[in-house]
Each structure stands twice: as structure tokens, then as C-alpha cells.
Amino acid sequence: ALQNLSQTPVLRELLKEAKMPGTTVKIESPELCMLCCFSFKQEPQLIKLDQPGPLTLAMHQFVTEMQETKKGVVTPKELFAQVCKKAIRFKGYQQQDSHELLRYLLDGMRAEE
């Protein structure tokens, strides 16, 4: 789930911009524009970013490490710690479903907006 998120261009750009609070970000989706161009024009979304929370900052750090590192292994320790603060069910290293992690991670980042 985390590898897939780290390869999502729109998320990477938003996380990069989230480091600078007060920035307005324009989101355009070329894939959606291609699908919708025959029926209506897809307008870009403008989003003003506030100060990022600890979960969002940890996600930014993880995505940056995944994109820029030359070493073979990236350990998401800080991201995991922040997820555990939002959802204590992940503490203790029990086996969990990846879709549950994804849901708690994205919901947690959205709640920090």
C-alpha cells in the first residue's frame, strides 16, 4: 500500500507543497480530462494548504525517501509511529490488512487538513 502511494504523482506533489503552509495548489488530472473531454471540460481544483500535521509530515518524509534514496531498503518508522498514534490497533506489530492501514493513513492525513 505504501509503495503504491509513493508512486502516485498527485500525492507526491501535494506532499511536497504541504511543507510550505499557505501555498495554493492547482490540481489537474490529465487522465480525467482525456475521459471527460467529450462531455465537459474538467476544471482544475485550487486548494489552499494549512500547516501540515505530524502524520502528513511523516508521509512526506517517507515518500521523499522512497523517491530519492539510493539504498535498497526504506523503513517507515516515523510514519508507522504516527499511524499508531491515530489508530492504536496497529501497535504491537500484529498482522493487519493493508486496506485498513491505507484507510487510517489517508483519513488521518485528511483530518489534519
Task: Enter the pTM of the model.
Answer: 0.71
Unique residue bearing C-alpha cell 500547516: 51
Residue 78: the pLDDT is 93
Domain residue ranges in the chain: 1-21+51-111
pLDDT tens per residue across span 47-76 = 676 778 899 999 999 998 888 867 678 888
Per the model's pLDDT, the better-predicted residue between 12 and 23 turns out to be: 12
- The half-sphere exposure of 89 on its side-chain side, counting CA atoms within 13 A, is 10
> Can you give the pLDDT at residue 112?
83
Q: In 3-state terms, what secondary structure has residue 43?
A: coil
* pLDDT over 60 at 86, yes or no: yes
Rounded to an integer, the average pLDDT of 4-12 is 87
